[in-house]
Amino acid sequence: MKYKGFIIVESPAKARTLEKYAGKDYIIQASMGHIIDLPKNRIGIDIQHDFKPNYVTIPNKIKVIKNLKEALGKAQNVYLATDPDREGEAIAWHLTRALEINPDNQIRIELHEITPEALKSALEHPRAINMEKVNAQQARRMLDRLVGYNLSPVLWKKVAPGLSAGRVQSVAVKLVVERQKEIDSFQSEEYWTISALLEADKIIFKASLNTFKNKKITIKTKEEADDIQLYLKSNSFTLAEDPKKKTTIKESPPPYITSTLQQDASRRLGFKVIKTMKIAQQLFEGLDIGEEGPVGLITYMRTDSTRISESAREDAVKYIANTYGKDYVGLPKKHKKKAGMQDAHEAIRPTDVSRDMQSLKKALTLDQYKLYSLIRDRFLASQMAPCETETTSLSIQCGDYSFHAQGSEVIFEGFTKIYNEIKEDKPEADDANCMPQIKAGDEIILRDLSVKQHFTQPSPQYSEASLVKALEKNGIGRPSTYAPIVETIQKRDYVKLTDKKFSPTKLGTVVTELLVENFKNIVDINFTAQMENQLDDIELGKEEYISVLKNFYQPFISNLHKVEKAISKVESINISEETGEVCEKCGKPMIVKRGPYGNFFACSAYPACKTTKPYVEKIGIPCPKGCGGNVILKKSKKAVFYGCDNYPKCDFTSWHRPIDKKCPVCGGVMVIKYAKTGKGYTQCINACSRKKQEEEENGNK
């Protein structure tokens, strides 16, 4: 007797979760991802015959395919339940070819969440393979192959062997390079601000100087600031007009999409985007949570849509009303569709919002629990009532100068009861500034004046979160590609992430300049965004994928041939970097060189002197343990950390960047840490508290 059905998924984790829901009538096996791909050692595309791809079986998947074929013969029906996106559709199509299944049969099922209800519904509504989706994915894969395999040899000849250029990641590197150039060329300007500590109605509050004779004031020098300070101290302060009160309604944020989840997890949890997506995949595919066994905890995590199902909305409303009260339930929101949005899936949300969080905390790893909690809180917040605040503004006059003071009081906390938004690189407003109850003409007492010097700042370097935001804003890539893009440009040594900020390497800058000069379209943001839109049009059946490939390839290859001829006469670009060290054998400067296995130190006198040393990145401070060594940047398989170059003789290590400064309390080394907002601060590596310092100071007295 045959099984009722054979369900094929990508991963064993998803298979284990579905086995629990499907029952004994179904066989469920995993393809372990892609089983077929373009060959690694050649371009694998027949340009002359309408870009026909030459797909080959991935060598380590031969046994997987054999096992799938054996299971296929044991079931009445087969269902391909690979991920519900273009890549998943392409994997399903490759499975039909490998297993000799008709792709026009009703064999494809989509699971936007791994739940019993979702599986039941999917099995009741199978469909044929969507070839428009497959062709959109094929076009993406072949475009990337055409660019990479044709451009990379140019980089090998003119820059260094082993380099590669990518259609999308090259644009991401360009964003980082351009931002760094903007920072390096920025001309900082001095300015001063004056704030006052005032008292009225027995309440002390802060106010900022903002106008002079009703015009916005800019204080450029210390002399100006000192003159104004003297004037203010010799004149009285009064309230210019009655306080202005304004009620502000702050709407709840939408549930997460891929990009906003990656950004928020980076800011709040300190997760790299690749880590966020890995954990989200685990939550989607299913985790063992105890007595229930494997359970899919969130909906599909690669999405650009903020819409949710009506049943999910109803569950959220019920939970909010029971937990916080009916006043906290928000009105339904209309789903806004942005230009270029695929809108193929719901927003990222919990599959069951009522799950007991304490039980989950025991069953999940700490990181899994943190990310799940973030997704759950954001989803619940999205269905909650707005936050209402009353803002009181005061206009305070001192002669010809005017100060502004503002304070806010929460009238109804609404969604902020469980979720507050964090803006990266933006200071938090001082909403706690309590305002006095006074009227126009009332005198105000000056308690203190604060005069501060500032300098205008350039745009900050990109973090992983802000780079993802920039990619999304410019239409570069799609939800499934943000994490691979960010990871790839780091692995290829085009950018480096130091203290959570991206800076381009010399290699990244050189490659970008070469591409900008000779292949403008490849690194042009608008051109790349247009290509993404064309891929979307292929999926929607508006474009033929072969036509898209032809229209891209013909001008691209024509330009490539011209560039190859032009730069064949140009000398190779030197990307070696000076290190400040000298060769132990000949005394010549040591430089950083790039090899097939990464960077290394080499003597600049090569080939006369062939001295080499392993590459280390010093951060410019001696080892805090006083061993005579230097602190260097180190890399493990999972993370970057700091250690002494005298290891194993010296065992100093730190997850946070040390600075050449001792803790005033315990004498330990000070390190740089980062708040959830991305703002840096210093802390003792021993995490000793100010309280301990105060106790010691009091004891000394």
Query: Dihedrals φ, ψ of 346, to 5°?
Result: -70, 175
Q: Which residues have CB under 8 Å from 620's CB, separation 6+?
A: 660
Q: What are residue 581's DSSP bridge partners? A: none
CB 570 within 8 A of CB 161: no
CB 573 within 8 A of CB 580: no
- 86: closest CA among 310, 303, 404, 378? 303
Stretch (H or E) spanning 71: helix 62-72
Active site residue 300: yes
CB 38 within 8 A of CB 17: no
| CA–CA dist 167, 148 (Å, integer) | 7
| CA–CA dist 300, 114 (Å, integer) | 9
CA dihedral over 454, 457, 463, 467, signed as positive or negative: positive
Q: Which of 21, 256, 300, 553 is catalytic?
A: 300
- The residue type of 296 is G
CB 320 within 8 A of CB 494: no
Class of residue 542 by CB neighbours under 10 A (exposed 0-12, middle 13-18, buried 19+):
exposed
Token reading at 469: 């935001």
- The residue type of 143 is L
- The residue type of 233 is K
Helix, strand, coil proportions of the chain in percent (round to 5)?
35, 25, 40
- CA–CA distances in Å: residue 638 to residues 3, 275, 635: 42, 10, 8
Q: Which residues have CB under 8 Å from 278's CB, separation 6+?
A: none
Stretch (H or E) spanning 563: helix 545-567
Token reading at 65: 């395919």
Q: Strand 3-9 and strand 26-30: pairing?
A: parallel
- Write down the residue that tokens 């044709």 correspond to: 150
| CA–CA dist 675, 687 (Å, integer) | 15
**DSSP label at residue 327:** G
- In terms of phi and psi (left: phi > 0; alpha: psi -120 to 50; beta: otherwise), the region of 325 is left
Give the catalytic positions in this structure. 300
